[in-house]
Structure 1
Amino acid sequence: MDILFVDRLLQIGDLFQRDMARAFAGTDLTPTRVHLLWVLQHSGPSTQQTLATLCEVTPRNITGLVDALERSGHVRRTPHPTDRRAVLVELTDDAKATMARMQEEHAELNASLLEAVAPEDRPALERGLTAVATHLERLVHAATNDTAPATPTTPPTPTAPDTPATP
């Protein structure tokens, strides 16, 4: 039986999941918590409402994620400078160092994966993967919202680092 294209994509997704589980084993980090840290790394201090929107989760889920990351020393809540009713969530110094390491490892993994593809094939691979991701996102949005975004809206989920990412 021939392996279908979708089967290969599922295999890649599963391998990323397993690698992330391995990388974060023995830490307080999970893929969902790392995604929130990644969003904070790129967006800067944000309200929980903004984080819920960016992470596409409910405010209740964000509260639980922020609580857990605050307990583990990855984030802190600080008063909003212009809205006394609001609170900002920001990375701690240790989390900033962790995220910098993750970004380096992310870039290294990206380079390593690209090395597996012949240089002349890389532009076509990038166009193909972008087309598949855009089409799949439209299918998902159509199934859930009856509308599709013009472009992908979900920030990239980080790939697992080679070493556990604990501060």
Structure 2
Amino acid sequence: MATEPGPTVADGVRELLLLMPRLVGRAKRTPPPPELGDLALAPRHLSLLAYLLFDGPMTVNELAARLEIAPTTASLMVGDLSRQGVLDRAEHPDDRRRTIVSINADKEPAVDAWLARSAKAWQEALTPLTPAERALVINTLKVFEQHSS
């Protein structure tokens, strides 16, 4: 019986243990663009901003669900980013108790620039893969995240 080409599980684990700190370090060293430089933004804000940039305005509860955090945590993040002028909050047109969150129009180009570098790198990495291979990469990273927390 022939073995499939590629690293063994042990070799793969070794490679990834060496690679992951470099990826995390690079993400931490990616500073916000100058337009956002004086704001207190951290890597945790990237996911929240990415959802709003890619998917458009949404409620705090929708953001919390997508980020897989408590609504109160999402609300605190939104409040912090709103006070810094990065996000806008508006009443939901159908339910005044709900708030719609969006990126401030003046800050959107800077947020887009901040995310563009990583988005381009992921596009380069994922484009040559088949849809099934892309799903495998994404699912593998999700499983890793679940088991490493």
What is the TM-score when the length of structure 2 is the normalising length? 0.70
Unaligned 5+ segments in structure 2 are 1-7
**Percent identity over the alignment?**
24
1:28 maps to which of 33, 40, 44: 40
Pair 1:10–1:66, CA change in 2 (3 A): farther
Alpha-carbon separation, structure 2, partners of 1:63 and 1:101: 25
Q: Does 1:95 align with 2:118?
A: no
Corresponding residue of 2:87: 75
Corresponding residue of 2:26: 19
How far does residue 24 in structure 1 lie from its aligned partner after superposition? Answer: 2.8
Q: Which has the higher contact order (CA 8 A, sep 6+)?
A: 1
2:129 maps to which of 94, 105, 123: 123
Corresponding residue of 1:10: 17
Give the partner amino acid of 2:50. Answer: W
1:57 maps to which of 48, 69, 74: 69
Kindly provide the CA deviation profile for residues 75-109 of structure 1, in whole angstroms up to 9, marking residues without a partner as x: 01111111111111110013311232134323443
Aligned length in residues: 132
Give the partner amino acid of 1:49. Answer: N
What is the TM-score when the length of structure 1 is the normalising length? 0.64
Give the CA RMSD over aligned residues.
3.1
Q: Secondary structure at the match of 2:88?
A: strand
Alpha-carbon separation, structure 2, partners of 1:139 and 1:34: 20
Q: Is the 8 A contact 2:46 2:115 kept in 1?
A: no
Alpha-carbon separation, structure 1, partners of 2:122 and 2:140: 22
How far does residue 50 in structure 1 lie from its aligned partner after superposition? Answer: 0.7
Alpha-carbon separation, structure 1, partners of 2:92 and 2:22: 40
Give the partner amino acid of 2:29. Answer: R
Alpha-carbon separation, structure 2, partners of 1:136 and 1:107: 16
Alpha-carbon separation, structure 2, partners of 1:63 and 1:92: 17
Alpha-carbon separation, structure 2, partners of 1:15 and 1:135: 18
Corresponding residue of 2:142: 137
Alpha-carbon separation, structure 1, partners of 2:85 and 2:19: 32
Q: Is the 8 A contact 2:89 2:101 kept in 1?
A: yes
Kindly provide the CA deviation profile for residues 5-34 of structure 1, in whole angstroms up to 9, marking residues without a partner as x: 123223333222212222237652111111
